[in-house]
Amino acid sequence: MTTRGWLLFVTLGIFWGIPYLFIRVAVADFDPVVVAFGRTAIGALLLLPLAIRSKALRPLRPHWKILLLYTAIEIVGPWVLLGHAEIRLNSSTTGLLIAMVPMVAAIILTVMGDDRLDLRRIAGLVLGLVGVALLVGLDIHVDDLIAIGQVMLVVLGYAVGPIIISRRLADLPSIGVVTGSLLLAAVAYAPFAILFWPQHLTARATGSVIVLAVVCTAAAFLVMFALIAEAGPARMTLITYINPAVAILLGALILKEPITIGIVIGFPLIIIGSILGTWRSSREPASTVNQNGQVQPADEPTVR
C-alpha cells in the first residue's frame, strides 16, 4: 500500500475509533435518538453540496426501496442501538464487540454461497467467539446482557449493510448513497428527536454530537471513498481491527475506563480471530472508482 494509502488508513481508523467515546459522552445528557438525529442531519447537510455538485442524488430514485432498506439496517437501527447500549456499557467494551463485524460478514457470505470457510478461517471464528465470551463473562454483569444484545444487532446491521451495497447499490455514486441514506435517517429520527429533545443543550454533549457528525460521519465517509480508491475494499476491512484499539485507548485516557481482565484477554483473541476468520487466501480483485465517484468493488464487500 502506498504512503497515501497508509495515511488514509490511519486517519479512517481514528475517525471510526472515536465514535464510541463521543457517543458515551453524548448519551449522558441526550437521549440516544437525539444524538443519532444530530449526527445524521449535520452529516447530511455537510455532504449534500458535494452530492448535488456531482449530480449523485438523481441516480438514486429508481433504487429508493433498496436505499431505504440499507439505511434502516446500516444507520437508523444501529446508531440508536449503540446509543442505548453505551448507557450501560463503556466505550471500550462496545468498540471491541464491534470488531466482530468481519467475522459475522464472513459467516453470512458463506451461508449465501459467496465464500467458504477453510480450517484456518473456522479456527479464527472460534478464537474470536472465545474472546467475546471471555470479555462478556469476565466484565459484563447479568443486567448488561440487554446492552450486549443491542450491540450484537448493531454488528449484524454493520455486516449486512455493505453486502446490500455490493449487491444492489454498487453501480451508484458512493457520495450519493451516503448522503441519501443520511437524509433518510435524519427524517426517520426527526419525530422522535422532537419528542425527546432535551430542555438544556449542554456544551459537552452538543460538542460530542458535532464531532460525531463532522468527523465520524461526513469526513470519515470522504476518507473511506479515497481509501477504497487507493487500496481497495478488501484492505479497508482491516480498519475494523484498528477501531477497538483506538476506542480502548481513548476510553482509558479520557473517560478513565479501566483496562479490565476481560479486555486484556478478549482483545487479542477477537482481533486475531477476526484476522484469521476474514483473511482471504486468494489474490484480492482490484477495485476502481470511476469518474462519477462510483466504486466498482471487489467480490468481498467493505465492512467497518
Instruction: Tell whether the model's pLDDT for residue 279 goes beyond 80.
Output: no
Q: Give residue 233's pLDDT.
A: 58
Residue with the three cell numbers 463473562:
137
pLDDT digits (tens, 9 = 90+) for 82-140: 999 999 888 888 888 887 887 788 788 888 887 777 788 788 878 887 887 777 677 66
Q: Give residue 101's pLDDT.
A: 83
Q: Left if phi > 0, otherwise alpha if psi is -120 to 50, otherwise beta: which for 232?
A: left
What is the C-alpha to C-alpha distance for residues 104 and 285, in angstroms, rounded to an integer?
A: 21
Confidence label for 237 from pLDDT (cuts 50, 70 and 90): low
Chain-centre distance of CA 204, in angstroms?
Answer: 23
pLDDT digits (tens, 9 = 90+) for 14-54: 998 899 999 999 999 999 999 999 999 999 999 999 999 99
Q: What is the mean pLDDT of the chain?
A: 84
The predicted model scores a pTM of 0.83
Q: Between 238 and 293, where is the model more confident?
A: 238
Instruction: Tell whether the model's pLDDT for residue 165 goes beyond 70.
Output: yes
Q: Are 92 and 251 in contact (CB under 8 A)?
A: yes
Question: Per mean pLDDT, which of 14-18, 55-59, 228-232 is the most reliable?
Answer: 55-59
pLDDT digits (tens, 9 = 90+) for 190-205: 999 999 999 999 999 9
Q: Give residue 187's pLDDT.
A: 97
Angle among Cα 184, 211, 81 to the nearest 5 degrees reads 50
Question: At a CB cut-off of 8 Å and minimum separation 6, what does 54 contact?
Answer: 173, 175, 176, 292, 293
